[in-house]
Amino acid sequence: MNQPRWKKRPEGSNWGDFGPNDQLGRVNLIGTEQVLKGVQEAQEGVTFCLSLPLDIPGGKVLNPRRSPPKLTPTALGEDQYINFPLSTHNPKLNDIISDDQVQLSLQYSTQWDSLAHVGALFDGDDDGSPERRYYNGYMAAQDVLDLSAEPSQRHDSYARRLGIETLAAHGMQGRGVLVDLVRAFGSGRTLIGYRELLEVLEQQSVVLEQGDMLVLRTGFAEALLDMKGTPQPDVLKNTGAVLDGSDPALLEWITSSGIAAICADNYAVENLDRELEPDCCSKLPLHLHCLFKLGLPLAELWYLKDLADWLHSRGRNRFLLTAPPLRLPGAIGSPVTPVATV
């Protein structure tokens, strides 16, 4: 298809700007030049793992739909392949084999959202009837599939377009730029709009350029880690800064800044606790703006404290970020083990 799959695009969106069939959105801005800018920040060869253990947070407090990972051994017939002696079937062999598999909610812990994660009811055909659409006009039932009623299918859900594998194939490596909201506001709950963000950028001498990946430390993941798998919801709801997705100036800044992704150590990046106004149309306005309108992926629940402390001690905020998701075709999210190199 060389023609747009829509007649009207959302106000403030970039649908079609990267081509009618684009599935990368603002990730297109992470090109070879941007990767080399990131490589230039790898000055001392020190690396930091930016992932939580993938069984954190623990339980289902953050999202009751998402379960912690469960490991089981692979099996063949009645044989469970954990400490399995091959001599069971051939006495001449002395090998011991362990082989496992995991049942995992892909967005349970440190993760990327694909562009198929959040869409909207939008009248892209301009016929007066809104359709369920995603970035660049891709549609539910055609491009993001519910297969749960079709037992002949291998999967129950499948993103034919905008799946997480598109980000994996691109690489998701470039220059990360850290903004330390803990150092600016402390670890309590703070609502960050355009004014607050600009103040911190100036205070911390942060300069963002087109194609950079913005990385936000709020302290939320650190609190989760301290809870050792037993999250305390009353504490967490008052922990860590959140972006104010209802601030039009902040959304416009995201558009005009040219950043390619937002990665945060909190849950959802934005404020989920705001009171909805009577004419409100979105529960997740920042997700809507980034994923649906701009094709700007979001990442959540990263662990940033060690990196932040190291960068602060050297008066730096930029680093080489390597964070490819799983190349799992059709998936809507993915765990990730981001690595910062400084």
Task: Identify whether 291 is part of a domain.
Answer: yes
pTM of the model: 0.96
**Containing structural domain, residue 199:** 25-60+107-117+162-341
Which among 35, 84, 90, 46 is positioned nearest to 342, based on CA atoms? Answer: 46
Helix (H, G, I), strand (E, B) or coil at 29: helix
Task: Identify whether 98 is part of a domain.
Answer: no
Cα 67 to the center of its chain, rounded Å = 18
Task: Identify whether 69 is part of a domain.
Answer: no
Q: What is the CATH number of the domain that holds 180?
A: 3.50.30.50
- The predicted-structure confidence for 90-130, as pLDDT tens digits, reads as follows 999 999 999 999 999 999 999 999 999 999 999 999 999 99
**pLDDT for the residue 152:** 77
Task: Identify whether 329 is part of a domain.
Answer: yes
Task: Identify whether 52 is part of a domain.
Answer: yes
**pLDDT for the residue 4:** 81
Cα 230 to the center of its chain, rounded Å = 23
Rounded Cα gap, residues 336 and 23, in angstroms? 20
Pairing of strands 75-76, 79-80: antiparallel
What's the pLDDT band for 276 if we cut at 50, 70, 90? confident
Contact 326, 51 (CB under 8 A): no
Measured over the CA atoms of residue 27, residue 33, residue 34 and residue 35, the dihedral's sign is positive
Number of independent structural domains in the chain: 1
Which among 15, 194, 17 is positioned nearest to 120, based on CA atoms? Answer: 15
Contact 13, 295 (CB under 8 A): no
